[in-house]
Amino acid sequence: MGARNAPAGDFPNPPYTRVDKSPITREKPFLYVDDDGAYKVFVPEVRKDSTGTSWSSGTPKGESLPLSDFFIAKPDATAEEMNAALDAGKHLLITPGVYHLDAPLKVTRPDTVVLGLGLATLVPDNGVSAMNVADVDGVKLAGLLIDAGTENSDTLMEVGPEDSSANHADNPTSLHDVFFRVGGAGVGKASTSLVVNSSNVIGDHTWIWRADHGDGVGWDSNTADNGLVVNGDDVTMYGLFVEHYQKHQTTWNGEGGRTYFYQNEMPYDPPGQGAWMNGSTKGYAAYKVADSVKRHEAWGLGSYCFFNTNKSVTAEHAFEVPQSPDVRFHDMVTVSLGGTGTINHVINGTGGPSDANSNVANVTEYP
């Protein structure tokens, strides 16, 4: 993406996917010490149709925020304290640790920065959401792990309420190194991990994971239907990882969506085909674009199966998209890891299978 001097060659041999420019980006906010010894947070500005880094030719464009503008949270901080700081116009700097929340953090002001250090971990208790972001301009969320609690949450994070309608093209909300985990540290449950209702949101490296190992892991233990649901328009995701959910891993309902690099593993643990059926269809797609969508594009996508609980389990296809001239997918691969299970087709009824006889299947362009 916008890489200068990218290696030559084309997918699948060698498996390089190159896109000349990044359509819209914002680099991750970061903590630094200035020449006077003062701690500050630098917030890079939005770049459009960019190549290379923002800082290679000198000081990057953006804004430095003094630490006095932040509420510095330590692991004994409560949701009430952090929400009071947000209401007062403060940003959040969340220091390393595990934060149990009895209410969602509510980000309501435009341009708010929530910066976690050391993958600060937010655990929603009693079935609440960990964070809700209003449909406002320019919120930046970075360096956070959202870890599902033992009581089921409908969603772990919601970016924009259901009725979001504002255009944020000039100052989008962005998520940087924001990870979600359902199970793994212990039993965790969440119906959906991340719901994006606002338009123009940027995702910059997002790992959305129903745990396949660790503690509290099992088909009936760390239950989770969907990883990512996108309802907003013109949402762009870079480096999107969604793994092991029990229904559609990613569902995209908004128009004009774009994904640059998608990595998926289907759930390892369906106990049998009957437990993993989408109506009459075997399994659920790793990436589902809603039938109503007219514009969507994605580059460099992989989906892998390893049905180690029952290797006779089959997924009909990894990618499921409507037939529209402006819905285009580039450079896709499916893999049956060790031949443990089957993905019949790569995208819709095209490509494949990936199975015990032929582990890898590629589709370069669709349609």
Instruction: Verify whether residue 316 is a known catalytic residue.
Output: no
Tokens representing residue 332 in the block = 């896709």
Measured from the Cβ of residue 117, the count of other Cβ atoms closer than 10 Å reads 16
Measured from the Cβ of residue 358, the count of other Cβ atoms closer than 10 Å reads 11
Please tell me which residue in 265, 297, 316, 320 is annotated as part of the active site.
Answer: 265
Task: Write the CA distances from 291 to 199, 201, 251, 254, 354, integer angstroms.
Answer: 19, 22, 11, 11, 25
Q: What are phi and psi of 137, to 5 degrees?
A: -75, 145
> What letter represents residue 19's amino acid?
V
Nearest residue to 340 via CA among 258, 279, 267, 290: 267
Distance CA 111, CA 136 (A): 8
Distance CA 202, CA 224 (A): 24
Angle ∠(259,265,269) on CA atoms, nearest 5: 150
Do 12 and 346 contact (CB within 8 A), yes or no? no
Report the catalytic residues.
265
